[in-house]
């Protein structure tokens, strides 16, 4: 029989499944193999999903299952889409009514199927959508948009919004994800838009692919210039090549060009960039100010229109925003809501990799344990401090029978931490240090590990004086920064900016601090060595050396070579390291 859920259109023989492995031909009837089974059910705010021009700041109930109808390399949700065992005890079984009841109990305005694709759990989502609509809730999803005409038509009466991720506008873009071509995607955007469903579109911006983004912007503009386009600056995780990552400035340039075609274009994965805000398409007045809120997410910080006002406060232009701005703000718990959840699972995987755990079954067992025992909240606390971090490593060591490896890793780390702490304790004048992610005004949250590393290495974190909160931080003003006058600035190794661009940003923003005048702004020499995996020990050594070159002298490449050989059994090659917390190298393979 032919599956009509998505346009891959599998022919499924009796008792077999299609390409996604989610549906079985059961005596001529298509049956969902894992119905009503969720990996995530938790509240989330609209901008975290993200939707930008739809019920700003409103609280929705996120539901995510497992699996995907696509198989794309470099997927940021790969752990959810491909890796979680469908029989895992971490999964929750809930009827559609139980899901809806939870949304009502949590005072959500609606339900949103996010992170993996609803086409992988089509019948489950359809039933939840019907039940939610009956009880007055909004319903939406993010999807690759590969609905057949039949499934789009069946689902659309229950759908209020959809965020469609566009891979590109060539058949080759879709073939690389296991799909035959791109045609169904613009067709479905047009269809949902014509049915009055709020549509936003999202696309990746990879280095050197400006034309692709512009082509997508132009295709959307042909449908409606009011459809918001979310440009996701590419973060190379999974097995992606780090050279595909554009700088924030390059992505800001393409956003500016796309704004010539569309009224609302947003730039994600670019902390501190104004590209995440909403401006009036006619006069440029700031309407919604947002913060970066983890990969693929944002947080509404300030609205310059209230309630269900639509007019630009300066020129009166009628903005295309659906729904009123919620007066209350919902802050997700640590690692909850959208993609930060997948980063949490990656952090666990990254820790396991360093104690030699490479098999999927053990990794899945540790995820399972963490998801069941409120472990993600504990993990978030534990990774900010060495002693608790060492406890976490030992804990994962005992869960996987790798106690000696865990002990070896903690000893290696303790030895270096103690050496740095002992020498740093004798330093009388500790430089004022600012830790930033992306661009100069995005200050990392003051309790995060990176700021702890600064203090360990003999610096004084000014992020603590700025009392920055947020996830992973918040935007501060140039005035506040100038007043604290940091002598050194470190840029997070998760989202770096070329130093020339960084100095230009400082100049344009009027940041004249000591660190700028004395050219003491540092990127880390290796990606992802200050958070997210035990490789932060390399970041600590690098920070100590930059702060006090008279006391600390480390060859980071040589130290990385030792670390990689000892703990991953790999030769260190800088060109193989990307922004993944989980995988130390693109050559790292997990085993079945």
Min CB(112)–ligand SF4 separation in Å: 20
Q: Which is nearer to ligand SF4, 21 or 313 (CB)?
A: 21
How many Å apart are CA 242 and CA 257, to the nearest integer?
24
Min CB(12)–ligand SF4 separation in Å: 6
Q: Which is nearer to ligand SF4, 150 or 222 (CB)?
A: 150
Q: Which is nearer to ligand SF4, 72 or 137 (CB)?
A: 72
How many Å apart are CA 390 and CA 52, to the nearest integer?
40
426 close to 409: Cβ distance less than 8 angstroms: no
Min CB(119)–ligand SF4 separation in Å: 5
How many Å apart are CA 64 and CA 37, to the nearest integer?
9
Min CB(122)–ligand SF4 separation in Å: 7
Orientation of helix 184-194 relative to helix 210-223, angle to 10° = 40
Q: Which is nearer to ligand SF4, 165 or 246 (CB)?
A: 165
- What residue ranges in 220-306 does DSSP mark as E strands? 229-233, 265-268, 278-279, 286-292, 298-303
Min CB(66)–ligand SF4 separation in Å: 13
Number of residue whose CB is nearest ligand SF4: 18
Dihedral angle, C-alpha 332, 338, 339, 344, nearest 10 °: 50
Min CB(5)–ligand SF4 separation in Å: 4
How many Å apart are CA 184 and CA 181, to the nearest integer?
8
Q: Which is nearer to ligand SF4, 6 or 511 (CB)?
A: 6
Q: Which is nearer to ligand SF4, 13 or 196 (CB)?
A: 13
Min CB(178)–ligand SF4 separation in Å: 8
Binding residues for ligand SF4 (CB under 6 A)? 3, 5-6, 8-10, 18-20, 22-23, 69, 119
How many Å apart are CA 189 and CA 552, to the nearest integer?
57
Helix (H, G, I), strand (E, B) or coil at 106: coil
Q: Which is nearer to ligand SF4, 3 or 166 (CB)?
A: 3
How many Å apart are CA 433 and CA 489, to the nearest integer?
6
User: In terms of Cα–Cα distance, which of 560, 513, 520 is closest to 540?
Assistant: 560
Q: Tell me how far CA of residue 252 lies from CA of 150, 280, 409, in angstroms.
A: 38, 18, 41
The radius of gyration of the chain's CA atoms, rounded to the nearest angstrom, is: 24
């Amino acid at each position: 029989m032919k599956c009509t859920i998505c346009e891959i259109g599998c022919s499924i023989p009796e008792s077999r499944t299609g390409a996604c492995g989610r549906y079985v031909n059961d005596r001529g009837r298509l049956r969902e193999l894992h119905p009503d089974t969720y990996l995530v059910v938790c509240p989330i705010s609209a901008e975290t999903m993200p939707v930008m021009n739809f019920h700003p700041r409103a609280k929705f109930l996120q539901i995510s299952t497992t699996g995907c109808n696509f198989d794309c390399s470099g997927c940021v949700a790969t752990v959810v889409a491909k890796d979680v065992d469908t029989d895992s005890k971490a999964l929750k079984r809930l009827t559609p009514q139980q899901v809806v009841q939870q949304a009502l109990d949590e005072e959500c305005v609606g339900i949103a199927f996010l992170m993996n694709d609803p086409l992988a759990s089509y019948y489950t989502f359809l039933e939840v959508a019907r039940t939610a609509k009956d009880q007055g809730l909004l319903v939406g999803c993010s999807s690759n948009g590969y609905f057949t005409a039949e499934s789009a038509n069946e689902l659309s009466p229950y759908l209020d919004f959809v965020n469609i991720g566009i891979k590109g506008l060539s058949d080759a873009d879709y073939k690389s994800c296991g799909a035959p071509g791109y045609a169904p995607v613009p067709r479905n955007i047009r269809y949902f838009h014509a049915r009055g469903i709020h549509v936003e579109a999202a696309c990746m911006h990879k280095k050197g692919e400006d034309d692709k983004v512009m082509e997508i912007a132009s295709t959307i503009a042909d449908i409606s210039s009011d459809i918001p386009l979310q440009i996701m600056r590419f973060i190379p995780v999974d097995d992606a090549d780090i050279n595909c990552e554009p700088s924030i400035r390059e992505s800001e340039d393409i956003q500016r060009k796309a704004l010539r075609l569309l009224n609302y274009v947003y730039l994600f994965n670019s902390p501190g960039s104004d590209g995440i805000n909403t401006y009036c398409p006619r006069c440029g007045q700031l309407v919604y100010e947002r913060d970066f809120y983890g990969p693929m997410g944002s947080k509404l910080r300030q609205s310059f229109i209230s309630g269900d006002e639509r007019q630009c406060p300066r020129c009166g232009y009628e903005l295309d925003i659906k729904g009123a701005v919620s007066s209350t703000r919902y802050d997700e718990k640590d690692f909850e809501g959208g993609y930060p959840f997948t980063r949490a699972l990656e952090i666990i995987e990254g820790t396991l990799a360093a104690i030699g755990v490479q098999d999927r079954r053990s990794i899945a067992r540790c995820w399972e344990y963490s998801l069941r025992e409120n472990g993600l909240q504990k993990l978030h606390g534990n990774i900010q401090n060495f002693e608790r971090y060492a406890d976490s490593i030992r804990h994962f060591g005992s869960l996987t029978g790798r106690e000696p490896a865990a002990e070896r890793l903690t000893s290696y780390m303790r030895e270096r931490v103690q050496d740095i702490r002992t020498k740093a304790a004798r330093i009388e004048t500790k430089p004022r240090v600012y830790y930033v992610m992306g661009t100069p005004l995005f200050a990392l949250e003051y309790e995060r590990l990176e700021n702890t590393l600064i203090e360990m290495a003999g610096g004084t974190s000014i992020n603590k004086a700025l009392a920055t909160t947020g996830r992973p931080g918040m935007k501060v003003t140039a005035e506040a920064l100038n007043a604290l006058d940091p002598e050194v600035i470190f840029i997070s190794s998760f989202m770096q900016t070329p130093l020339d661009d960084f100095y230009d940003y400082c100049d344009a923003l009027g940041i004249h601090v000591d660190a700028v005048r004395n050219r003491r702004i540092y990127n880390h020499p290796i990606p992802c060595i200050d958070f997210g995996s035990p490789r932060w020990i390399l970041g600590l050594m690098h920070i100590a050396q930059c702060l006090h070159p008279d006391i600390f002298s480390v060859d980071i490449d040589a130290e990385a070579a030792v670390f990689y050989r000892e703990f991953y059994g790999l030769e260190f090659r800088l060109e193989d390291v990307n922004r993944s917390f989980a995988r130390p190298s693109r050559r790292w393979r997990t085993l079945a």
